[in-house]
Amino acid sequence: MSRLNTVTAEAARAIADEGLLGEPVPLWKQTWARLIRKRSGQVGLLLIGFLLLVAILAPVISPYDPDQVLIGVEQIKRREAPCVHLLGCDITRPQHIMGIDGNSRDVFSRLLYGTRISLMIGVVTVTFALLVGVTLGAVAGYFGGWIDNVIMRVMDVILGFPSLLLAIAIVAVLGPGIVNALLAISVVSIPGYARLTRASVLSVKSYDFVAATRVLGGSSRRILFLRVLPNALTPIVVLATIGIAGGILDAAGLSFLGLGAQPPTPEWGTMLGTEKDQMFSSPHLVFFPGIAIMITVLGFNLLGDGLRDALGSIPRSAA
């Protein structure tokens, strides 16, 4: 009986989501309703919401300027261990809940401001790669022929190189820096979006509603960007969400190697690269930035999984 009740409740929710008892429910409402019922989506939204809150409130939460050198301001030592008064640290010592780095700066403050930089990196790289990759993939899939061959062969050439090695090569040519790192990560991400978009467009353009629009005199540009592409975006949205996590991870890797954000920028990969030799003598200097990267990547991956399940269960007619 309990199993029957569960199935009945799920069926009722599905009917309500799809608007079968009244006006059709917009796609974004269906997606949101399904997403918040997925455990992975809930955890992903919670983690990303927390990170966004930290990024917005960093100037309020941070006890120090991220670049402030505290030697001469407080009685501290370089790479001093964390001191939290509530956990028994001597009240006469200055409180630094994540310790002091090798340049006598507060690690907690730098970690907070690093949230802003890492989220910006993920969003910017995915936005650029998404715009270029989706446009190229849509044009290749819809028009086919020599246009498709030229575009996809170029994408194949880029995919022929390991993505991180290609990003390192691009940064080595352009010079180290966060802007060049963003450009390199975006370029190596384009083929993934282009190939996925092409596959989705090839599938959607064979549908009857596309043929009907063509018979009614719709131009190729109108059909592609107003009819085909909106119905091909479901897998691309999922890939873009997960791609933010990949962009953050790649940027941290380039910064760790000294090719991304340059000191004194409070970027997590730079913080790891600067203090990598202190893993055993001052483990807090690599532990906290590493945990921050892990939580951020986990949050976007979980959200991507939740979106995949939510969008995958929506009928094509609703999309």
CATH code at 263? 1.10.3720.10
Query: Which residues, at least 6 apart from 260, have a Cβ–Cβ distance to it below 8 Å?
Result: 171, 176, 177, 178, 181, 251, 252, 253, 254, 267, 269, 270
State the pLDDT at residue 23.
52
State the pLDDT at residue 114.
93
State the pLDDT at residue 167.
92
State the pLDDT at residue 29.
74
Domain assignment of residue 173, yes or no: yes
Q: What is the mean pLDDT of residues 22-38?
A: 69
Domain assignment of residue 116, yes or no: yes
Distance set, CA 205 to CA 77, 142, 226, 308 (Å): 65, 7, 12, 22
In which domain, by residue range, is 288 found? Answer: 38-71+106-312
What pLDDT digit, counting tens, does each position of 188-232 carry? 999 999 999 999 888 888 777 777 777 777 677 777 777 787 778
In which band, very low, low, confident or very high, does the pLDDT at 24 lie, cut at 50, 70 and 90? low
Q: 26: which DSSP letter?
A: P
Angle of CA points 263, 73, 69, to nearest 5°: 0
What percentage of the chain exceeds 90 in pLDDT? 42
Q: What is the mean pLDDT of residues 304-313?
A: 78
Report yes or no: 132 and 151 within 8 Å, Cβ to Cβ.
no
Crossing angle for the helix pair 234-256 and 284-312, nearest 10 degrees? 170
What are phi and psi for residue 311, nearest 5 degrees?
-75, -30
Domain assignment of residue 84, yes or no: no
Whether the pTM exceeds 0.85: the reply is no
User: How far is 272 from 266, CA to CA, in rounded Å?
Assistant: 10
Angle of CA points 294, 300, 306, to nearest 5°: 130
Domain assignment of residue 195, yes or no: yes
**Which residue carries 């892990």 as its tokens?**
294
Three-class HEC string of 199-247: HHHHHHCCCHHHHHHHHCCCCHHHHHHHHHHHHHCHHHHHHHHHHHHHH
Q: Give the residue with greater pLDDT, 211 vs 272.
A: 272
Total tally of structural domains belonging to the chain: 1
